[in-house]
Amino acid sequence: MNEREIYDLDYAIVKAKDLKPSFTTGGTQKRTDMNEEQIKSIAENFDPKKIFGSGGFEDLPIILHDGQVIAGNHRIQGMLNFTPKSRYIYHRAIQEYYNIDLKPDELLVRVPHNRLNNTEINNLAASSNQGRFNSESDQRKAVLSHYEAKLKELDQKLDADSIYSLKNIVAKNLNFDKATHPNVGDSNLALLMYNMPRTKTQGIELLNRWQKAFSNDIKSYEKVKKMFVDNAGSFHNLIHDMNFPNVSLNAYLSDILDRSFANLKNYQSTSESLKDLSEKFYKTSSLDMFEKSDQSTSDISEILGGAIARFARFDDPSKALFEALKSDNIKKGLKEFKIADVTKDMFDPKSKEFKDIDIYDFAHYLLMVNREPNENNPVLNRLVQAVKDMQKESEKGIKQKLEAPSEWGPNYSEFKGDGLGAINKLLETKKGFVAGAFHKEGLGNIDLVWGNKDYGLEHILKRREKQAKNQGLNEQQAKEYALNVVKSIPEIIEKGVKVDNNGRMAIEYKNIRVGINDDWYSEKLPNKWVISSYEIHNSESEPPSLLMAQLQGVGLGTPKLTEPNPTTKKLNKD
């Protein structure tokens, strides 16, 4: 890596099926963008001169003793997909360069001579990708994977009297490699991303998209980004602040980030933004615009984004937002703006205590705090009234909503908005459901249900396991395939598109379909819910790609996906 960090490597002959290339964050993997062209080039037009003898990270892939890849995920995936021609060239080149005669199911790799600790593995994997990330998004995903273990151990309250102090406390607490000078920017970015729970990478993708949108005004992009990253600890504190348990800020944080960027992009000034939002959301005669709960959620997110984007126009945005998000200052503002108080007003049945405020009350506070006296104008008052109207409709909607079917069992509400967490919880309990495990624009909240053999996660696992066994995988391999399909659901919902599948709702992405339902025995439910998930494939003579990759790994698949396998059975497509 450098003069002070040198790792001795040994050559090793391994079975191809034992290698574990990965293109998702976690473990040894710090890059996440798969370059399919690069893999295809290695698989179909292997050139040994581009790899053998290159030295450093570009040479033979480097793996751990358990098969995880430290350097060379694309190379290994390409080698696993070798055409007969490329395999022949590879075999001859290994003989020529290394005087080794490999068996058809073997590959030559490098492994560290000594066992490495987690810090050394992380550093080695990250160094292997320096200068080779496919995107800014990829770099941010690498940052998150570095800090993930420490993030889970972070205290729920970080005491700091200034934004400078708070940033450094975060860095000190997340110092995973015990560096003398912890990386303040990366650690705070990781914390911000971690508290956006719908998927691990949602916030990262938002930053990537808005960076492109602000390509002609990068200073404004950096201003908003810095304000949010610097205040990662502030958001973290508020999410865990038991003075305000009903605010549930983490469920809105990614939307707030998104709408804050949009607000700064679309409006030249705070007053222009305020006027437009007021005209958009204030209705004097009807509240019919708030009838749909997912629309109401979208509306309050836009107002929250506008309220926080206002701080980006201050001389010191990070400091201004830090002060506004401090627990004591929130209490002070709630009292000053007559939103809530320490105790309820015995003469006002509608009054609230601090602990009773919700996201609408918090939006009301953010709209009012840190304003000049002359800003308390009719436009602002109309927008505040719109927020109150949304709140009333939300409360009315909650009372009117049907309960979830009793057959579903208990709701593990702590995993709302955390798709991966919801999956792991239901795999552990094998019962119950998570209301709002996912959220998708245009569909609203989506529930995840354990179910039984006919619907939900249990149904998906049993059907996919049976499908894999029919293709020749053993029981353990079939279970692994079924689990991979289930674990792909969060990404499909996040990145996929809504489709009509013969009159049934579904979300599709990368040839995987997640079936969605909106009723229970013809009775409408407040949320959509996941009923099934499976790979889509067009060829009657071949299994779908995810299963195909696993079949190839155990020597049961064809060497080239475009060549039909006459022994493969036809699969049901659902």
DSSP per position, 97-133: HH-----TTEEEEEEESSPPPHHHHHHHHHHHTTT--
* Confidence at residue 221, expressed as pLDDT on a 0 to 100 scale: 92
* Confidence at residue 252, expressed as pLDDT on a 0 to 100 scale: 84
Residues 302, 443: one domain?
A: no
* Residue that wins the pLDDT comparison between 406 and 332: 332
* Confidence at residue 12, expressed as pLDDT on a 0 to 100 scale: 87
Residues 149, 100: one domain?
A: no
Residues 113, 210: one domain?
A: no
High-pLDDT (> 90) share of the chain, % = 28
* Confidence at residue 334, expressed as pLDDT on a 0 to 100 scale: 95
Residue 473 has pLDDT above 80, yes or no: yes
Return phi, psi of residue 155, to 5°. Answer: -60, 150
- Tell me which of 400, 415, 439 is where a domain ends: 400
Q: What is the mean pLDDT of residues 93-120?
A: 82
* Confidence at residue 439, expressed as pLDDT on a 0 to 100 scale: 92
Q: What is the mean pLDDT of residues 122-151?
A: 62
Residue 117 has pLDDT above 50, yes or no: yes
How large is the C-alpha radius of gyration of the chain?
27
Q: Residue 476 domain-assigned?
A: yes
Q: What is the mean pLDDT of residues 91-107?
A: 88
* Confidence at residue 333, expressed as pLDDT on a 0 to 100 scale: 94
Q: Residue 395 domain-assigned?
A: yes
Is there a contact between 225 and 465 (Cβ–Cβ < 8 Å)? no
Q: What is the mean pLDDT of residues 430-453?
A: 90
- Convert the pLDDT of each residue in 354-384 to its tens digit: 988 999 999 999 999 988 766 558 888 889 9
- Convert the pLDDT of each residue in 57-73 to its tens digit: 667 888 887 778 877 88
* Confidence at residue 373, expressed as pLDDT on a 0 to 100 scale: 66
Alpha-carbon distances, residue 452 vs 26, 430, 443, 459, 469 (angstroms):
31, 9, 24, 6, 20
What one-character DSSP code corresponds to residue 250? G
Residues 373, 259: one domain?
A: yes
The kind and range of the H/E element at 146 are: helix 136-153
Q: Residue 342 domain-assigned?
A: yes
**Of 219, 237, 238, 217, the residue nearest 227 (C-alpha):** 219
Residues 57, 191: one domain?
A: no
* Confidence at residue 364, expressed as pLDDT on a 0 to 100 scale: 95
Q: Residue 571 domain-assigned?
A: no
The domain of 178 spans 136-400
Least confident range from 138-152, 204-218, 274-288, 531-545: namely: 531-545
Q: Which two tokens stand for residue 396?
A: 């009315």
Residue 359 identity (one-letter amino acid): I
Is there a contact between 242 and 327 (Cβ–Cβ < 8 Å)? no
Residues 236, 302: one domain?
A: yes
Residues 221, 321: one domain?
A: yes
Is there a contact between 468 and 481 (Cβ–Cβ < 8 Å)? yes
Q: Residue 3 domain-assigned?
A: no
Least confident range from 99-103, 229-233, 267-271, 394-398: namely: 394-398
Residues 218, 329: one domain?
A: yes
* Confidence at residue 370, expressed as pLDDT on a 0 to 100 scale: 87
* Confidence at residue 458, expressed as pLDDT on a 0 to 100 scale: 94
Residue 186 has pLDDT above 90, yes or no: no
* Confidence at residue 568, expressed as pLDDT on a 0 to 100 scale: 32
- Average pLDDT value for the chain: 79
Q: Residue 357 domain-assigned?
A: yes
Q: What is the mean pLDDT of residues 165-181?
A: 84
**Sheet of strand 9-15: strand arrangement:** 9-15, 106-112, 62-63, 69-71
- Tell me which of 356, 372, 400 is where a domain ends: 400
Return phi, psi of residue 192, to 5°. Answer: -60, -45
Q: Which two tokens stand for residue 103?
A: 């068996």
Q: Residue 564 domain-assigned?
A: no
* Confidence at residue 544, expressed as pLDDT on a 0 to 100 scale: 47
Residue 239 has pLDDT above 80, yes or no: yes
Q: What is the mean pLDDT of residues 430-448?
A: 90
Q: Is 0.75 topped by the overall pTM?
A: no
Q: Distance between CA 239 and CA 225 in Å, rounded? A: 19
* Confidence at residue 417, expressed as pLDDT on a 0 to 100 scale: 87
Residue 96 has pLDDT above 60, yes or no: yes
Question: How many domains would you assign to the chain?
Answer: 3
* Confidence at residue 195, expressed as pLDDT on a 0 to 100 scale: 85
Residue 224 has pLDDT above 80, yes or no: yes
Residues 534, 434: one domain?
A: yes
Q: What is the mean pLDDT of residues 410-426?
A: 87
Q: Residue 477 domain-assigned?
A: yes
Angle between the 163-173 and 218-230 helix axes, to the nearest 10 degrees?
70
Residue 567 has pLDDT above 50, yes or no: no
Residue 405 neighbours by CB under 8 Å, 6+ apart: 520, 525
Residues 238, 365: one domain?
A: yes
- Convert the pLDDT of each residue in 301-340 to its tens digit: 889 999 999 999 999 999 999 999 999 999 999 999 999 9
Residues 124, 184: one domain?
A: no
Name the pLDDT band for 472 (thresholds 50, 70, 90): confident
* Residue that wins the pLDDT comparison between 570 and 216: 216
Residues 252, 306: one domain?
A: yes
Residue 145 has pLDDT above 90, yes or no: no
* Confidence at residue 561, expressed as pLDDT on a 0 to 100 scale: 27
Least confident range from 31-35, 204-208, 419-423, 424-428: namely: 31-35
- Tell me which of 400, 430, 451 is where a domain ends: 400
Residue 249 has pLDDT above 60, yes or no: yes
* Confidence at residue 31, expressed as pLDDT on a 0 to 100 scale: 46
Residue 278 has pLDDT above 80, yes or no: yes
Residue 538 has pLDDT above 60, yes or no: no
* Confidence at residue 299, expressed as pLDDT on a 0 to 100 scale: 79
In sequence order, what DSSP letters do the residues of 447-512 get, joined into one string? EEE--BTTBHHHHHHHHHHHHHHHTT--HHHHHHHHHHHHHTHHHHHHH-EEEEETTEEEEEETTE
3-state secondary structure 47-82: CHHHCCCCCHHHCCCEECCCCEEEECHHHHHHHHCC
* Residue that wins the pLDDT comparison between 228 and 301: 228
Q: Distance between CA 528 and CA 374 in Å, rounded? A: 45
